[in-house]
Amino acid sequence: MADAIFSNLPTTVFEEMSGLARELGALNLGQGFPDDPGPREIRAKAAEAVLDGYNQYPPMLGLPELRQAVAGHYRRTQDLDLDWAGEVVVTSGATEALAAAFLGLIEPGDEVVVFQPVYDAYLPLIRRAGGRPRLVSLSPPHWRFDRTMLEAAFGPRTRFVVLNNPLNPAGLVAPEEDLALLAELCVRHDVTAICDEVWEQVVFGGARHRPLMAFPGMRERTVKIGSAGKMFGLTGWKVGFLCAAPALSRTLARVHQFLTFTTAPNLQAAVAFGLETGRDWFAEMPQSLARSRERLAAGLAREGFAVLPGQGTYFLNLDLPASGVDEPDRAFALRAVKEAGVASIPVSALYEDDPVTTVLRLCFAKSDAVLDEAVVRLAKARELSRRDAL
Ligand code: PMP
Ligand code: GLN
């Protein structure tokens, strides 16, 4: 299967757009990362851990203090009862956790229900494991699935479903009733859910993140994946977590030992500290991001751009045709970075087939000055696009 050959894979859109931004000196509202250095106390803790210890191999499953902190955090914030010793594995980012889940659980021929827009890592890894993706397409403005869509996708060979909630790029926080519906289908078809919940703390506007694992029948059949990178705005740290019932966790841990074996111990210690002490951070960080979103949305609206709704992640989406842009998203994104100096992500890059080509993703986890300048540059890009259309 040609698709499974890794050397044939294109460079991911995140690297492509960040590469162009670096090369051209553009503002980078493409790849999702904040432009501030992250919480000082947590970085200080990491520096201390580098100097005062924690520099040799930590335990394969992760530092006990971090696994305890992860279980404690999810107990406080999501009412989950996880046994830190048997149900939490620390990984090198959510990306490694995803790889461990796909490579460790999927057998050749298994069908895997995947929603698109789809995070770039899922399909190559699922195929490498021999899985057969069954794609369910979500569309703007609401990006929700319904019973008909799920019933068409789930069949006798379905073994897994992959859920990204809150959803990158859409910013959708799945409503309770949608999760209950998905849980019902998983139980009926004896399907395991692989839940990428890296954005779970980045939720605002009155929305509430609920883990699929908490729904009836899901506790034993869910792999829940988190990332300190998103929790603390330290995206380069690559400290992630796998949480699952003991039988699943054992398999995942065996794969983890041959993917990376361990994760930087000093960073693990600092993340444990952050989870134990970060209650104020978890309250303030989403509020501050909501203000940034509001600022970018208001600036864009003043310029006549149409902003789609969203309640989470670092991302705001523009409806291009409703914003007066007639070009497809990718052409406009390339124009914006090359001719107006602002990088973004064309959402069509996150579809495998029948892409939505009308939505542009912008990362708003940036300073006010950057956001204000981005609005000016996007307006300029639209002007150039209109001029060329004449
Ligand atoms: N899944 C999703 C949906 C993401 O948005 C990201 C990164 N932003 C990841 C996984 C990867 O997380 P990490 O950097 O911890 O590997
Ligand atoms: N998750 C980040 C985003 O969506 C990108 C991470 C990456 O570049 N692999 O922008």
389 vs 150, higher pLDDT: 150
Nearest to 345 by CA among 11, 22, 30, 15: 30
Residue 9's pLDDT band (cuts 50, 70, 90): confident
- Alpha-carbon span 341 to 235, nearest angstrom: 23
| Distance from Cα 275 to the centre of ligand 1, integer Å | 18
- 387 CB contacts (<8 Å, ≥6 apart)? none
Supply the residue whose CA is at minimum distance from atom 4 of ligand 2.
32
* 83-120 confidence digits (pLDDT tens): 999 999 999 999 999 999 999 999 999 999 999 999 99
Rounded CA separation 251/327 (Å): 47
The pLDDT of residue 3 is 56
Tell me: the pLDDT tens digits for 346-366?
999 999 999 999 999 999 999
Q: What is the reported pLDDT for 191?
A: 98
Q: Please tell me the pTM assigned to this model.
A: 0.97
Determine contact, residues 126/106, Cβ cutoff 8 Å: yes
Q: What pLDDT, on the 0 to 100 scale, is given for residue 390? A: 82
pLDDT at 2 over 80: no
Q: What is the pLDDT of residue 272?
A: 98
Of the candidates 96, 124, 117, 75, the residue with the CA atom closest to the CA atom of residue 263: 96
Query: Between residues 53 and 165, which one has the greater pLDDT?
Result: 165
Residues 154-183 pLDDT 10s: 999 999 999 999 999 999 999 999 999 999
- pLDDT tens, position by position, 267-306: 999 999 999 999 999 999 999 999 999 999 999 999 999 9
3-state helix, strand, coil split of the chain in percent (to 5) is 50, 15, 35
Assess whether the C-beta atom of 95 lies below 6 angstroms from ligand 1. yes
Q: Is the CB of 240 under 6 A from ligand 1?
A: yes
Residue 132 pLDDT greater than 80, yes or no: yes
Cα Rg of the chain, angstroms: 21
What is the distance in A from the centroid of ligand 1 to the CA of 108? 25
Query: What pLDDT is attached to residue 10?
Result: 86
4 band by pLDDT with thresholds 50, 70 and 90: low
Ligand 1: atom nearest CA of 95 is: 16
Does any ligand 1 atom lie closer than 6 A to the CB of residue 34?
Answer: no
Pocket of ligand 2 (CB under 6 A): 14, 31-32, 168
Counting ligand 1 atoms within 8 A of each CB, the residue from 17, 95, 242 with the most, and so the one to mutate, is 95
Report pLDDT for 6.
80
Enumerate residues 6+ apart whose C-beta is below 8 A from 48.
none
Mean pLDDT of the residues in the chain: 97
Pocket test for ligand 2, best of 11, 18, 120 (most atoms within 8 A of CB): 120
For a pLDDT cut of 70, what percent of the chain falls above it? 99
pLDDT-derived band at 369 (thresholds 50, 70, 90) equals: very high
Closest by alpha carbon to 31, among 235, 194, 183?
235
Express as a percent the part of the chain with pLDDT over 90. 96
Flag whether pLDDT at 262 surpasses 60: yes
User: 312-342: per-residue pLDDT in tens?
Assistant: 999 999 999 999 999 999 999 999 999 999 9
Q: How far apart are CA 141 and CA 236, in angstroms?
A: 31
Mutate which of 126, 230, 239 to test ligand 1's pocket (most atoms within 8 Å of Cβ)? 230
> What pLDDT, on a 0 to 100 scale, did the predictor assign at position 236?
97
